[in-house]
A and B are shown apart, each in its own frame.
Chain A
Amino acid sequence: MTQKIDKIPELPAGSFERITLDSHQAERITKPSVSFWQDAWYRIRKNKGALFSLILFGLIVIMAFLGPIISPYEPNTQTITHANLPPKIPVIENLGILDGVGTLGGQEVDLYEMKNVEVNYWFGTDGLGRDMFSRVWKGTQVSLFIAFVAAAIDMLIGVIYGGISGYFGGRVDDFMQRIVEILTGIPNLVVVILFILIMDPGILAIIIALTITGWTGMSRVVRGQVLKYKSQEFVLAARTLGASDSRIIWKHLMPNVLGVIIINTMFTIPSAIFFEAFLSFIGLGLQAPDASLGTLINDGYSLIQFSPHILAFPAVLLSLIMIAFNLIGDGLRDALDPKMKD
């Protein structure tokens, strides 16, 4: 296999140039300095799954607000004569899917023709003749609202509690941690169900039930981080220079802890969305006519045999939101976690 090289071709002397190493330039920073957030954004962009999820989630949020507006029907208006219509979307109907054909008595018929419905319901209608398109997006709005508010409250309480506990340490920390240990011992499911039972069902009840012990996770993470950073030299330096407690907390500790807070929040949101849907599914969630994705799935489930589309749209949307959030969360964790840095 090896070819014998008889003769090495002559290299012209002019193709090389002698350079001198300038020792003054040895420590010059050649690449532009990248801030923590620029670096994180760069990493996120490289993560295709996370980027795609971010865009998908953006679209879902836009549709959650735009959907009920562009739909010509109100989410709660009942048109009994239009009940249980399968989805029908213009243009796509020519492909043989979403064309308003449903089964009735074991036969495939165009229910729109049969019921003399001139208009199109993109996602069909439910058992009371309500437009599923506007209901689904309205429900998404409600689900996202509950999840975001719950996550924000968890974050607020968790950061303050964990921050105080970690920063002041000693007996304060001991006492506060005992409380957290007892609270985390109580299963989440149990707390949520008990609190829902004492309160009137509704958005507020769900948010309170989700946050009542939900913050403990965040507080633990924040406490751990604060404990880690507060004993480091830069905090000592700040203290020596006479920085106040609040300055050390806000200017020196917070920026370091922020990454973990964001990651943790990104995982709180899907779990809040899940619990809301879960509660609605077992009948402890929102009450009619309010709708969230959970109640829509619950409604759809009871009609699964005859009108599977009523279950399909909210179920797909809920699953998409959950997948998107988990992927964004994973991406952010990889992007922000300093342990992963090369």
Chain B
Amino acid sequence: MAKYIGKRLIYMVITLALIATFTFFLMKVLPGSPVASADKLSPEQRAVVEARYGLNEPLPVQYFNYMFGLVQGDLGISINQFKGANVTDVILSRMGPSAQIGFQGMLLGTVLGILLGMIAALRQNTWVDYTSTFVAIVGISIPSFVFASLLQYWFGLKWGLFPVALWKDGFMSSVLPSIALAMFPLATAARFIRTEMIEVLGSDYITLAKAKGASGSEIAFKHAFRNALIPLITVLGPMAVSILTGSLVVEQIFAIPGIGEQFVKSIMVSDFSIIMGTTIFFSVFLIVIILLVDILYGVIDPRIRLSGGKS
């Protein structure tokens, strides 16, 4: 296990270094540097600006400084959007709303999905099962931005049940975005739990439990559900990815001052240091989550030997 984690950590560092190197050179190649409108500046002003962004150093030194800054959590300075604000600060200041809707969406989606999947498995091949399968397919298929616009149009605009947009009414503002983000986890969890439950319900120890006279609910919850739940950890990674991807558009649609909305804005105004900073932040977030999920799975279910039986 320790060997496996060590190996994964090394890969993680290589991957991140690769992404960081790539983003660094991308920033050098792309238009939109702080001195892009250099012809309007006098040589002295230009020198001041370059010194401020560290552009007067030779490229290898710049690269080293950049990588060194990254390790310390410094993602550079915003070029045009926030007039010289620190990118790390910008991201941190916007983490709250993103984390809230992301967490709520994940929680809502997995809980409802597990319920839906369980009911479907216990009532296999009835209309309940078919409805739940249909909901799951729809949830996986309909892109979050389509779903988010529908929610906004009907629940916000037409029926006025929730705020149409913005982040002004506390929890109420977070309801629609959370539901929009919850669709994919819901559908994934429902499909997954259904398959797992059906498999578990057919296994020998369930037959034994039945033979010993355990009640239906006891079998469903105490025996089948617990074992069906463990493999769900494997899809937590894809779920986190979907929440993050979805947050870009959902925050945009509901005008939520989160990281995703910030990211899309930065793309539109070509603030590359923010784009790259956020990209690296996203990468670290996802890579760490996926690593944690893999390790967690190995710890919880000892039958899984992650490195092919030699751990």
Q: Does B78 contact A (CB under 8 A)?
A: no
Please give the distance in Å from A203's CB to the nearest CB on chain B: 19
Task: Count residues of B near A (Cβ-Cβ below 8 Å).
Answer: 41
Complex Cα gap A5–B61 (Å): 103
Q: Which 5 residue pairs are nearest across A and B when measured between Cβ atoms? A: A185-B15, A322-B141, A323-B141, A187-B286, A315-B146
Q: Does B1 contact A (CB under 8 A)?
A: no
**Contact sample, A vs B, 15 pairs, CB 8 Å cutoff:** A186-B283, A187-B286, A189-B248, A193-B267, A193-B279, A198-B30, A277-B145, A278-B143, A278-B145, A278-B245, A283-B264, A297-B145, A315-B149, A319-B143, A330-B137
Complex Cα gap A138–B26 (Å): 34
Q: Given the known A-B contacts A189-B282, A318-B143, A323-B137, are A281 and B249 also in contact in the complex, defined by CB atoms under 8 Å?
A: yes
Which residue of A187, A189, A282 contacts B267 across the interface (Cβ within 8 Å)? A282
Task: Count residues of A near B (Cβ-Cβ below 8 Å).
Answer: 35
User: Which residues from chain A contact B142 at a C-beta distance below 8 Å?
Assistant: 319, 322-323
Q: Does A23 contact B (CB under 8 A)?
A: no
Please give the distance in Å from B23's CB to the nearest CB on chain A: 7
Complex Cα gap A101–B307 (Å): 64
Closest to B280 in A: A190
Task: Give chain B's interface secondary structure class.
Answer: helix
Pairwise interchain contact A274-B15, C-beta atoms closer than 8 A: no
Q: Given the known A-B contacts A182-B18, A185-B287, A189-B282, are A282 and B248 also in contact in the complex, defined by CB atoms under 8 Å?
A: yes
Other A-B pairs, 9, CB within 8 Å; known A197-B26, A330-B137: A185-B12, A189-B282, A193-B279, A194-B22, A197-B272, A270-B141, A274-B143, A323-B138, A325-B141
Q: Does A301 contact B (CB under 8 A)?
A: yes
User: Which residues from chain A contact B287 at a C-beta distance below 8 Å?
Assistant: 185, 187
Q: Does B111 contact A (CB under 8 A)?
A: no
Binding site for B on A (CB under 8 A): 181-182, 185-190, 193-194, 197-198, 270, 274, 277-278, 281-284, 297, 301, 304-305, 308, 311, 315, 318-319, 322-323, 325-327, 330
Please give the distance in Å from A190's CB to the nearest CB on chain B: 5
User: Which residues from chain B contact A304 at a C-beta distance below 8 Å?
Assistant: 149, 152-153, 157
Pairwise interchain contact B268-A283, C-beta atoms closer than 8 A: yes
Closest to A49 in B: B137
Closest to A273 in B: B143
Pairwise interchain contact A297-B283, C-beta atoms closer than 8 A: no
User: Which residues from chain A contact B36 at a C-beta distance below 8 Å?
Assistant: none
Pairwise interchain contact B22-A301, C-beta atoms closer than 8 A: no
Q: Does B244 contact A (CB under 8 A)?
A: yes
Which residue of B26, B30, B146 contacts A318 across the interface (Cβ within 8 Å)? B146
